[in-house]
Structure 1
Amino acid sequence: MTVRAADVVVGTELPERTFAVTRADLVRYAGASGDFNPIHWSDRIAASVGLPGVIAHGMLTMGLAGRAVTDWTGDPAALVEYQVRFGRPVVVPDDDAGVEVTVRGRVAALLDEGRARVDLTVTSGGEKVLSLARAVVRLP
């Protein structure tokens, strides 16, 4: 879905997106990113450092939220600023279903030069996993 600048007002909501994250996704992400930290693949190591289980890479979660925004704009290059704080880990069970990450967004402000600020709410298991997540996009 590509948005049109003329249709965007403060309060415009992005389509909700839900992404499944499995252990296989963590393996692929580790290979692509070079981040082979064992908290992303070993239950034993994750537990030894106080985590509730294997967790998704924070940057993978951030990337999924960014994808929801760029899918909405229809152009990955439209994303001109992006920031998040990592609030809670996304725990990925050792099964075929994995866990869901849900991304909701809302246009919070219209800026100069045809840009808009989008505030994001990113949750998993009913818990907010990214805090202060916001993107600035150039509207088509």
Structure 2
Amino acid sequence: MTGLKDLQVGESLEEITLPPVSRLDLIKYAGASGDYNPIHTIDEEAEKAGLPGIIAHGMWTMGNLAKLFTPYFEEGFIQDYSIRFKGMVFLNDVITLHAVLDEQGEEELNFSVRAANQDGRDVIKGSVVFCKRFITAAT
């Protein structure tokens, strides 16, 4: 793996494909987030709400996008994160995470990010500002 310092504008981070979304993923996320809306965990409630089945929490999908930057934690941190929800994520969907470098500054990198389902449809699109960490040697 090369560092972010070697990435050129227009190049992508290595994409990540998540395992199929499971009910257990969503139950665990509900517990961690405190979002117990039953459309995320109970089939009958999702159907009563007019959905074809339970849907993933939008924030579960958004949170997974951060995995693209985990390998680079020694180089910096996500300073800003902005997304738009474009589609629903259902049980057994396979989500692929993408990030492309749009702009490279001295102190930050600007990325376009997206998550797409197994049909190639975007479920989230947005941007990430990654702040470079400056490490100076002690003298």
Q: TM-score range by the shorter chain?
A: 0.7 to 0.9
Residue 30 of structure 1: aligned partner: 30
**Structure ranking higher in strand proportion:** 1
How many residue pairs get aligned? The number is 131
- Counterpart CA distance in 2 for 1:53 and 1:77 is 39
Q: Percent identity?
A: 34
C-alpha displacement of 1:114? 2.1
Provide the residue aligned with 2:10 in structure 1: 11
TM norm structure 2 = 0.85
Q: Where do 5+ consecutive residues of structure 1 fail to align?
A: 93-97
Q: What's the counterpart of residue 113 of structure 2? A: 120
Conserved in 1, the CA contact under 8 Å of 2:4 and 2:75? no
Please tell me whether Structure 1 or Structure 2 has the larger radius of gyration of its CA atoms. 2
Larger RCO (CA within 8 A; separation ≥ 6): 1
TM-score normalized with structure 1 length: 0.84
Give the 3-state SS of the residue equivalent to 1:99 in structure 2: coil
Mapped contact 1:79–1:138 kept (Cα < 8 A): yes
Cα distance between partner residues in 2 of 1:72 and 1:139: 13
Deviations 1:36-55 (A, max 9, x none): 10000111111121222111
- Letter of the aligned partner of 1:45 in structure 2? E
Return structure 1 stretches of 4+ with deviation > 4 angstroms. none
CA apart distance, 1:77: 5.6
Question: In 2, are the aligned partners of 1:11 and 1:108 still within 8 Å (CA)?
Answer: yes
Number of the residue aligned with 2:137:
none
Written as runs of structure 1 = structure 2, the 5 A alignment for 1:40-59 is 40-59=40-59
* 8 Å contact kept, 2:76–2:132: no
Shift of residue 125, structure 1, vs aligned partner: 2.7
Q: CA RMSD in A?
A: 1.8
Q: Are positions 1:64 and 2:64 aligned together?
A: yes
The equivalent of 1:110 in structure 2 is 104
Identify if the C-alpha distance between structure 1 residues 77 and 27 changes in structure 2 by more than 3 Å, giving closer, same or farther: farther
Cα distance, 1:110 vs structure 2:
1.3
* Deviations, residues 15-74 of structure 1 (Å, cap 9, x unaligned): 010112211011111111111100001111111212221111110100001221x22423
Cα pair distance change 1:100/1:108, threshold 3 Å: same
Partner of 2:132: 139
